[in-house]
Amino acid sequence: MKRVLAAAVLALAACSPAAQKAPEAPLAPEAAAPAAVATLGALAIDSAIVRPPVEGQTTGAGFLAVRNGGEADRLVAAFSPATSSIELHTHRHVDGMMRMEKVDAVDIPAGGAVVFEPGGLHLMMFGLAPTGDVIPVTLKFEKGGDVTVPFKVMARSAG
Ligand SMILES: [Cu+2]
């Protein structure tokens, strides 16, 4: 039994250097990023899109990328006149299942980038009733303050 435990510890130790690998290049702000749709100080936001609710539903999801050329900040809230409320959500593996989970804030590291995308971080938009091709969403950053970002509304998917 002791021997099995020791082997497990060694396996864990062998894994850790990989986990400390540098962040991947495509997320770096210097990499070719899509044009920003809004900026706030050193923060640039791009790829802002909304997936509208499916027929009969009222909850949609927002995705975006935040690139930070300055000091670390945190996204702490989001709101829009086109929704009743917006929560910051992430996905986590729990017992082999992907589950959505509300988070209080999203860290935006200094000189880094955070991408909200399907299967990961997203803006959960409740009571979403998009009235046009673009809806304004105000993002609230702990240090930077508020910035209103035009989110492009994707075509509604069937069912
Ligand atoms: Cu969600």
**pTM beyond 0.85, yes or no:** no
What are 131's two structure tokens?
């009235």
Tell me, what's the pLDDT at 16?
41
CA angle 118, 59, 94 (to 5 degrees): 50
**Number of other residues whose CB lies within 10 A of the CB of residue 77:** 16
Sort 67 into a burial class: Cβ within 10 Å, 0-12 / 13-18 / 19+: buried
Tell me, rounded to whole angstroms, the distance of Cα 116 from its chain centroid: 3
24-153 CATH, one of 3.30.110.30, 1.10.357.10, 3.90.76.10, 2.60.40.1890: 2.60.40.1890
Compute the distance from residue 154 Cα to the ligand 1 centre, in Å. 17
Ordered mean pLDDT values, 10 residues apiece, the chain (159 residues): 47 42 48 88 97 92 97 98 97 91 97 96 94 93 98 77
38, 137 Cβ separation under 8 angstroms: no
What are 5's two structure tokens?
């435990």
Compute the distance from residue 93 Cα to the ligand 1 centre, in Å. 14
Tell me, what's the pLDDT at 121?
98
